[in-house]
Amino acid sequence: MKILMFGKTGQVATEVLRRAGEIEVEALDRTAADLTDPDACAALVQRTDADIILNAAAYTAVDKAESDEATALCVNSETPIRMAAAAAARGLPFLHISTDYVFDGSGDAARSEGDATGPLGVYGATKLSGEDGIRAAGGEHVILRTSWVFSSHGANFVKTMLRLGAERDALTIVDDQVGGPTAAGDIADALLTIARSFSAGKGVTGTYHFAGAPWVSWRGFAEAIFAEAGLKTTAAPIPTADYPTPAARPLNSRLSCAKIEADYGIAAPDWRSSLKDVVEELTS
């Protein structure tokens, strides 16, 4: 089996390459695949000899997207839609990563795949637009919504907390946003499992949620990071209202993972175990 993957240096793409095993992965960086050029990306799908297409690239600068909507829309919606249409025309399964930001973050119940969406900002809106277009393309596909991605590489909350925790004795961390931190390695494993299922003729098309468990606030996550790293830094709680950002963040990022476990046998990963591995890699 061969996967054509858009993305090479991002958190999930890096982990896919590390964990692919027997699967051949052709990873395309920005020089090989310009995500602001939908036609060029579709052409890559049209002429590939791969069996499965994986889009592990996105415009993820949530705050910058508020002032750069055109680029975010192209990268997160227009280009993936063209990729999916090209994949559908060739009968190739299309795997795509999406986000909890497609929801409005209200309430405190875990969101299921069929729940009403309502993005709060440009990033979430462009990701939702991409989802809709991928479904409309009509081919075999999996849209994997995830949340709070972390790893030993790239820019993420764990690396930021380790840096700040080594510099300061006390921090204030938002405590009213709750979700499931998800290791990029666990996302990669899930995507590779799904790819193998499609390769075996057992893939199930649909939208799925995949996020770490148990639920935790950003402050709780920070405290777990400090404890795992042996840092004495304290984390005082503040509300989101006291930490304004250009883009609104969903307060409730809980995602129910029951559907992906039922269809693919993939259980929600325990982020605490993955955090231990990531911190060990970063501090060893």
Sheet with 178-179, edge to edge strand ranges: 216-217, 178-179, 252-253
3-state secondary structure of 61: coil
**Would residue 123 show up in a list of annotated catalytic residues for this protein?**
yes
Q: CB–CB of 63/101 below 8 Å?
A: no
Cα–Cα dist 5/9, whole Å: 11
Beta bridge partner(s), residue 145:
98, 209
Instruction: Outline where 230-270 has alpha helix (H).
Output: 258-264
What is the rounded distance in angstroms from the CA atom of residue 12 to the CA atom of residue 184? 5
Identify the active-site residue in 59, 101, 123, 264.
123
Report d(CA 215, CA 256) in Å as an integer.
11
Farthest-apart Cα atoms in the chain, separation: 56
Which residue reads 């639920």 in tokens? 215
**Collapsed DSSP state (helix, strand, coil) of residue 99:** strand
Look up residue 159 and give its two tokens. 């690396």
Q: Compute CA distances 165 → 75, 149, 219, whole Å.
A: 34, 19, 13
Residues in the chain: 284
Nearest CA among 217, 225, 232, 216 for reference residue 174 = 217
The residues assigned a catalytic role are 123
